[in-house]
Amino acid sequence: MITHKKILSIVLKISIGLACFLIIYFRLKNDFTPTNLALLTDSVFSGNGIFTLLICILLIPLNWGIESYKWKIITAPVEVISFFNASRSVYSGVCLGNLAPGRATEFIAKIIFFKPENRPQITVLHFVNGMFQLSITYIIGFVALAYKMKSFGDAYVWIAYTAISTAVLVIIIFIICLVKIDRVLNFLTQRISKQKQIAVAAYKFTKIQLLQLFGLSAIRYVVFFIQMVLLIKLFAGNFDATIGFGIALYFLITTTIPMISFLEAAIRAAVALVVFKGAGISNAGLALASISVWLLNIILPSILGYIILLKQNFDFKFRASGK
């Protein structure tokens, strides 16, 4: 029997999707002319276009390789795994993360590459690890937000304030997690695990470890940024400092909004059209660039992750406790 909450959830998801599609339609209806489509096709299949796409594709393994190395570092105090297994864990997580808003199911696939007794702790570390990337995105995004705040119309200013409120809350939680990681790990592990008593290994972030995790997160942000710049130049034809701030703001907002997998492309395109409004670049090009970044960094790695899960004989009824 369908409950009222499920009905409300379905209606909300459909409403978000329809709103995004309407934004895209009204912003793009005058851009997808036969002439513009011909220009886009020519630019993509030109020598420069193919070279640009090739660079963006080659950046995919660099992006997820960095994330895999971060995952190996942060889980090492609990269980040491090889870079190969860390990569398999990460790609599998990318795949399964598509099943829920905010990629909340990602950890379910990632933890299967660890011993059952360590999985509750690894689950907690998955969310702590994500906060390192979030913190870099928020710090750079705040600078962009300060620069672009005046460009937000009254109809969209709520997006800026929502992003700020969420980011501040996440950063406060993150600082607590860094300072009290032992207690946080113990507290959450006890609640995740169905065992009444579970021993939690001593865990402290060293200065070197923090430097590595923040540094690698910053490098990974640069990889995303380069991809977006290249794709905007390819599809929209130009790039300047104002657009650079827009990209940072776009990353801030899309990171803050819990994405729904089957609507994610539409939501990302809609956000791009709002953020880059008045930037003097093609709306069609912006939509294509934002969707392409998503396709390159989520959909393609998800295919690899799906293959890995099939080889692992993954049980979708698997529980985090390992039982």
Q: What is the 3-state secondary structure (H, E, C) of 121-146?
A: HHHHHHHHHHHHHHHHHHHHHHHHHH
Given a cut of 60, whether residue 283 has pLDDT beyond it is yes
- Does residue 80 have a pLDDT over 90? yes
Q: How many Å separate Cα 88 from the centre of its chain?
A: 18
| Structure confidence at residue 104 (pLDDT) | 80
Lowest mean pLDDT among 93-107, 147-161, 239-253, 278-292: 147-161
d(CA 71, CA 87): 8
pLDDT-based confidence at residue 5 (cuts at 50, 70, 90): low
Q: How far is residue 66 from each of residues 72, 124, 133, 264, measured CA to CA in Å? A: 10, 20, 11, 24
pLDDT range class, residue 35, cuts 50, 70, 90: low
Section 243-263 average pLDDT: 79
- For 309, list phi and psi in degrees, rounded to 5: -65, -35
Say yes or no to pLDDT of 66 above 60.
yes
- Of all helices (H) and strands (E), which one includes residue 106? helix 106-110
What is the pTM (predicted TM-score) of this model?
A: 0.78
- 126 neighbors 105 (Cβ within 8 angstroms): no
Residue 83 banded pLDDT, cuts 50, 70, 90? very high
- What phi-psi label fits residue 103: left (phi over 0), alpha (psi between -120 and 50 degrees) or beta? left
Q: Is the confidence at residue 311, as pLDDT, over 50?
A: yes
252 burial type by CB count under 10 A (0-12 exposed, 13-18 middle, 19+ buried):
buried
